[in-house]
Chains A and B, each alone.
Chain A
Amino acid sequence: MIHDDGTLPQEARQAYTSMFGHLRIVSRPDADREIDARLADYPRCLAYRRSHPLALKLFDCPLLAQTPRLVLLDSDVLFFRRPEEVLSWVDRGQAESFFNPDFQDAYTISREAAQQRWGVTLWPQVNTGLSLLPREVLDLAWCENWLGDESITDLKEIAWREQTLLALSASRLGKGGLLPESYEVSFNPEMANNAVSRHYVGDMRSQFYAEGVLLVRRSLKP
């Protein structure tokens, strides 16, 4: 399922349909109609969703999912090997959450503060570029509560807010953890030899072309 942030051109819709056959593309107006209604009793969640496109990842993906679990992928991730751990998670059918392992805690709140304020043992180094989630990981009442906290809503860190909330949500349930390091997120000039995937975060965007696309292209030969 592809979630349009409201700017997706028609050309992209046609391309996705030609390339991947049946897939659902959710337009922003359709998503707004459905999700706004679901968030009606959660004003902070609604305000956050209206203020930042990454909030669609947090709310729309689980709320619109038609399966009990979902694989959430960022567009700047590439796969170089068969993702056995992902496929095994699909087969196991357990309500566990797994994430890309980051090289840092990219959160708006410290782990100590999360423990102190809500009794949540926040998992370290969660990166939501590749997330395996049970739908029930999203608890709107908890998100509403967290969004009332000054650290969570710090505007300087708004790009990390969605990641913080997903990490808090999964940590609260306490089932799952991080994928192996071979699901790489790093600023290293070259990826590890055993990399299954790489998330080209931040300034690594040029490496997406020069390293990632170069390798993927060899195997795809489009």
Chain B
Amino acid sequence: MSSPHPRLTAGRLWWLFKLNCQRGWRTAWYEYQVMPRILQWRVPVEFPAENRAEIHLLTSHKDWLFAAWMLASFFH
């Protein structure tokens, strides 16, 4: 299992630099600056327990922030 926050070594910094040059700095800005902002969001209303259909989601250390955005967009 890999750590969610890998150690920042010189090699990793170089790899991140190359990755961000390749995918564009705008994407990098979204990943590092915008994605975590969802953590300030709260579900707007208390939903009653749904006994007809549950929502299920499989997630991991790589995509749990994506899942937070997905759920927020669904409940909103």
8 Å CB interface, A46-93 against B = 53-54, 56-57, 60-61, 64-80, 83, 89-90, 93
Q: How far is the CB of B24 from chain A (nearest CB, A)?
A: 7
Question: In the bound complex, do residue B24 and residue A65 qualify as a contact, i.e. CB atoms below 8 Å apart?
Answer: no
Name the residue on A nearest B27 (C-beta).
Answer: A206
The number of chain B residues touching the other chain, given as a range, is 35 or more
A12 within 8 A of B: yes
Q: How many residues of A contact B (CB 8 A)?
A: 59
B11 within 8 A of A: no
A40 within 8 A of B: no
Instruction: Determine the distance from Cα of A8 to Cα of B27 in the docked complex, in whole angstroms.
Output: 23
Question: In the bound complex, do residue B46 and residue A21 qualify as a contact, i.e. CB atoms below 8 Å apart?
Answer: yes
Known A-B contacts A7-B1, A9-B4; the reply to A213 vs B35 at CB < 8 A is yes
Interface residues of B (CB under 8 A from A): 1-2, 4, 23-24, 26-27, 30-31, 34-35, 37-43, 46-47, 49-76
Interface residues of A (CB under 8 A from B): 1-9, 11-12, 15-16, 18-22, 53-54, 56-57, 60-61, 64-80, 83, 89-90, 93, 132, 197, 206, 208-210, 212-214, 216-217, 219-220, 222
